[in-house]
Amino acid sequence: MNINKETLAFLPALEISNAIAKKEISSQEVVLAALDRAERTQETLNAFITICRDKALEKAIKADSEVSASAELSPLHGVPLTVKDLINTSGVRTTMGSRIFDENFPSADAVAIERLNKAGAILIGKTTTPEFGHKPFTSAPIFGQTVNAWDQNRIAGGSSGGAAVAAAAGLGTLHVGTDGGGSIRIPAAANGVVGMKPTLGTVPNDSNPDSFGNYSYTGPITRTVSDSAAMLTIMAGNHSSDVHSMGRIDENYLNAAINPGDLKGKKIGWRHLMGNSIIDAEVLRITKYSLNALQSAGAEIIEMTDEFESPEPFWRIINQSAWKARFGKYIKVWEKEMTPSLLRSLNEAENYTGAELQEAIYKRTELFRKVQGWFNKFDFVVTPTLSRTALETGNDLYDQVTVAGMEAGIVRQAWYPYTHPFNLTGHPAITLPSGFHSDGLPTGLQIIGPYASDYEVIRCARIFEIAQPWESKKPYVPNLH
C-alpha cells in the first residue's frame, strides 16, 4: 500500500489493521505518523497532556513482529489509540486535568483500556480534559486550552475535548472518552466526529466509587461508526467491578456496522427541543434535513410533541454532590491551584440537603421510566446533539450562552440539553455529523435507543452514515499544511 502520511492519518482502523495484517504497511509507520501529527499540533490544537512516543514506538515494533501468515489478529491490532486523561493507564501519567495529580502514575489500566491493549491497540497519548471532567470546556490550569479542530477561535467542547479534536484532526485513530453529562457527545458533535455513550453497564466502569448510582460512561470517539463499533466490541463485557455490567450478554457490535440492513418498518421519534426553548435555526434546518437519510432507509419519522422538562437542575444536585464527596477533600490544600468553576461547583454542593439528594435520585428513576416509555411507540428517538455550533473561546461554565442571537441561559441547559438526560436514564446514545453550518463548523445528530439496545443504535447509525457519508471531510489545521 503506497500512501502518504496525510492519507494514513485518516484511514479507518479496520483498513489500517487489515493492511498491517497483510504487511502492506507497518504499525510503526502508522504510529509514527500519528505521533508526528500530535506533536506538531500541540502548539495550535493542544489536544494532549502526555504523548507517549517511546512506549508507543516500542509497542508498534512488537505489534509488527506478531504479524505472521498464521496469526489471527484483532481488528485493532497495531492501530494508534488515545485515552482521555481521566482514565487510568498503567505506568502512564494520568492527571485528571488537575495539578493535584500531576505526578500520578497508575499501577494498572482501567478495565476498558486493558481490553483495548490486549486487542493490540497502541497508546500514543493521554488527551486533554478539564479538571476532573467537570465542564464542557476543555481547559484547565495544568495544560491551558484545547481548541476546535475546525476553527481555533471556537472551543473544543468537553469534557472529552482532546479526544474529539484528535479524532477530527487525524491525531491517532481510536479515541476513548468519558461521558458524565454529554462529555463524549458534546465535543464529538462540535468537531464533526462519531461519539457514543453506551448503555449503563455495557462498558464496565471500575473507577467510579459509586457503582450503583453511576451516571458516567466510557465510550469511543472515532471518525467512523464501524471503528466505534469495533472499539465497543472490545471494551464491552461484564466485570465484577461494575454492578451494572453483570449478566450482560456479549455482542459483536462490529457486525451491526458491517451488515446494518435497513430501517423498514421502524418508527423514529423526532424532537428538536428537550427542556430548552431556543435552537439555532440553521442547526435545526440541517438536522431536520439529515433525517431524510433515515427515511430513505425505510424509517417513518414522527414528530414528538409531548412536553419535556429539563432534568439539569436535579442532574446538577446528583453530580455536584458526587464531586463534593470525591474531590472536596482537596480544597484545603489545593484551592489556589484548582479551576475556579470547579471550586464554585463544589461549594454549591454544600447547600444541598440529604433529602434533596434523595429526591433527585427519585426523579432520576421517574425520568428513566418516561424515556423508556417512549420506546413503546418508537424504535429510536433522534435529536440535535447541540443547540448551536461550538461556542466562542472565552466562554466558561457559568456564563450565559447565546443561541440564535439571544441569551438562552446557562450552558448546561441551553447548549446541550439533549445529552445529559440519557446519562441519568442510562440509554445508549450516539452522535453523528449531520452537516456543516454556514459558520464552517459541523453540526450533530443524536440517535437514542431503548435500554440495552446498543447493537441496534450502532446499526441505525451506520445506515445513516452510509446514506450521508462524511469521512472524507477534514479540517484545515495550522502546522500540518
For the segment 54-75, what is each residue's pLDDT rounded down to a tens digit? Answer: 999 999 999 999 998 667 899 9
Residues in CB range of 358: below 8 A, 6 or more apart: none
Residue 400 pLDDT greater than 90, yes or no: yes
Averaged over 170-194, what is the pLDDT? 98
- Other Cβ atoms closer than 10 A to 454: 27
Residue 163 pLDDT greater than 80, yes or no: yes
Q: Cell 484545603 appears where?
A: 332
B/e letters for 195-230, b = 16+ CB within 10 Å, e = fewer, are: bbbbbbbbbbbbbbeebeebbbbbbbbbbbbbbbbb
**Whether residue 26 lies in the annotated active site:** no
Residue 407 β-bridge partners: 402
Residue 217: helix, strand or coil by DSSP?
A: strand
Would you state the pLDDT for residue 134? 98
Residues in CB range of 456: below 8 A, 6 or more apart: 256, 379, 380, 449, 450
Would you state the pLDDT for residue 70? 63
Starting at the earlier edge strand, list the strands of the sheet with 380-384.
48-51, 122-127, 80-84, 174-179, 217-222, 194-197, 429-436, 442-448, 380-384, 267-270, 300-303
Is 69 inside a domain boundary?
A: yes
Report d(CA 266, CA 285) in Å as an integer.
Answer: 23
**In whole numbers, what is the pLDDT of the chain averaged over residues?**
96
Is 175 inside a domain boundary?
A: yes
Is 477 inside a domain boundary?
A: no
Q: How far is CA 407 from the centre of its chain?
A: 27
Q: Cell 480534559 appears where?
A: 129
Total domains in the chain come to 1
Phi, psi (rounded to 5 degrees) for 434: -110, -10
Is 481 inside a domain boundary?
A: no
The half-sphere exposure of 456 on its side-chain side, counting CA atoms within 13 A, is 17
Q: Give the CA angle between residues 362, 366, 368 to the nearest 5°.
A: 115
Residue 147: helix, strand or coil by DSSP?
A: strand
* Residue 424 domain boundaries: 5-467
Residue 2 pLDDT greater than 70, yes or no: no
pLDDT in tens, 227-278: 999 999 999 999 999 999 999 989 999 999 999 999 999 999 999 999 999 9
**Whether residue 159 lies in the annotated active site:** yes
Residues in CB range of 348: below 8 A, 6 or more apart: 320
Report d(CA 463, CA 456) in Å as an integer.
Answer: 11
pLDDT band at 478 (very low <50, low <70, confident <90, very high): confident
End-to-end CA distance of the chain: 23
Phi, psi (rounded to 5 degrees) for 405: 80, 5
Is 335 inside a domain boundary?
A: yes
CATH number where 162 lies: 3.90.1300.10
Averaged over 134-147, what is the pLDDT? 97
Would you state the pLDDT for residue 3? 75
Averaged over 130-138, what is the pLDDT? 98
The half-sphere exposure of 89 on its side-chain side, counting CA atoms within 13 A, is 26
pLDDT in tens, 366-391: 999 999 999 999 999 999 999 999 99
Q: How far is CA 340 from the centre of its chain?
A: 24
Is 196 inside a domain boundary?
A: yes
Q: Cell 495544568 appears where?
A: 142
Residue 204 pLDDT greater than 60, yes or no: yes
Pick the catalytic residue: 27, 139, 159, 228?
159
Is 479 inside a domain boundary?
A: no
- Other Cβ atoms closer than 10 A to 476: 11
Strands 139-140 and 217-222: unpaired
Averaged over 199-216, what is the pLDDT? 97
Look at residues 227, 74, 185, 231 and name the one whose alpha carbon lies nearest to residue 444. 185
Would you state the pLDDT for residue 72? 82
Is 456 inside a domain boundary?
A: yes
Phi, psi (rounded to 5 degrees) for 113: -75, -40
Q: How far is CA 37 from the centre of its chain?
A: 21
Percent of the residues in the chain that have a pLDDT greater than 70, as a whole number: 99
pLDDT in tens, 29-41: 999 999 999 999 9
Pick the catalytic residue: 17, 59, 84, 266?
84
Pick the catalytic residue: 17, 98, 160, 183?
183
